[in-house]
Structure 1
Amino acid sequence: MARLTTTILLAAALVTTAACSKKRPEVLPPAPGEAPASTGGTTGPNDGTVVPGSSEDFKRSVTSDTVNFALDQYDIDGTARGILDSQVGWLQRYPNVRVTIEGHADERGTREYNLALGDRRANAAKNYLVARGVSPTRITTISYGKERPLALGSDEESWAQNRRAVTVVLN
């Protein structure tokens, strides 16, 4: 009898545990900054042409979607101004398009420091675009700090690539 009771309790515990497990969704959403799976929004029907005003159009039309920064800096230098000016031109052609500017930092420093630095970098890029005539209501910012490195490595070349602000078109 004790063996039967133990077996029933064990089976009930297993069923309860299995019922509480979270099922993984069939399709995961893209990470911020990544292009979502194609739903026909960025290219033409079947000919592969790029739709004007799309994320693909933005990437093809501007100098770059990324502005890089020096160590512990968030000021917009001459190179960054050129990149952001090309983004201003594109954003003025498509006044209904919204963007998010992602701020990033390299792996050095605390999590909190890098989140704050990423925020300052994203806002510096946003403020430049706004000063050039882009409506601030079209731009959101987010900081990922050191959580989403572009280059994996603990050397100056990798760190330099990770100190950035990335403009992402929201489709």
Structure 2
Amino acid sequence: MPSSLSISRHTRTGATMLLVAGALAVSACKTSAPQELPPEPGPATTTTTAPTQPLGPVAGSQADFVAKMMGADTIYFDTDKYDIDSMDQQALAKQAQWLMQYPNKRATIEGHADERGTREYNLALGERRANAAKNYLVSLGVDASRLGTISYGKERPVALGSNEQAWAQNRRAVTVTID
């Protein structure tokens, strides 16, 4: 059996070797200061590139028309009516101004009705509404050959429901630009 003196000698020798190995490892990783410092940074430079996408809708497009109209692309009517009131006149004047700015653009005016009444009656009422809007635009100087009309009657409601609120939203004429 080994003596306690020989065990402690082996332990001390092993510990010393570990200490020396650790010191060597640390000294091997030590970095020295560079002999020359990097140059001072110069003034900040920025490069700007033109955006690849337009910031808004393309001028003269349907999206541009809708954005500029801010809801004035649609006019509303009372029950069984197709007359142009003062609010409609303002909306149509805004439409005419846009159409005059883009003389090569054409538009279709869609006439709509609420769900009440027969299909035939509502198609005829939608047609009268679309024609009333068209005629007013023509009176403001828009060439009639640039404007078409179509009636959807009660076939394309924007509001579902059988109440006055839904019906009021569906009695309308909508101007849609086309190429």
TM-score bucket of the superposed structures, by smaller chain? 0.7 to 0.9
Deviations along 1:56-113, one digit per CA (max 9) or x if unpaired, are 1111112411000000000000000000000011000000000000000000000000
Partner of residue 12, structure 1: none
CA separation in 1, counterparts of 2:94 and 2:65? 10
CA separation in 2, counterparts of 1:146 and 1:129? 24
Deviations along 1:102-141, one digit per CA (max 9) or x if unpaired, are 0000000000000000000000000000010000000000
Counterpart mapping for 1:12-161 below 5 A: 46-63=53-70, 64-161=72-169
Unaligned runs of 5+ in 1: 1-43
Residues 125, 45 of structure 1: alpha-carbon distance in 2 compared, 3 angstrom cutoff: farther
Unaligned runs of 5+ in 2: 1-50
Per the normalisation by structure 1, the TM-score is 0.72
Q: Match of 1:66, as an amino acid?
A: T
Partner of residue 7, structure 2: none
Larger Rg over CA atoms: 2
Deviation at 1:48, TM superposition (A): 4.5
Residues 1:162 and 2:170 aligned together: yes
Deviating 4+ runs (over 6 angstroms): none
Equivalent residues, number:
128
Q: Match of 2:139, as an amino acid?
A: A
CA separation in 2, counterparts of 1:49 and 1:122? 29
Q: Structure 1 residues 124-133 or 58-67, which shifts more?
A: 58-67
Per the normalisation by structure 2, the TM-score is 0.69
Partner of residue 14, structure 1: none
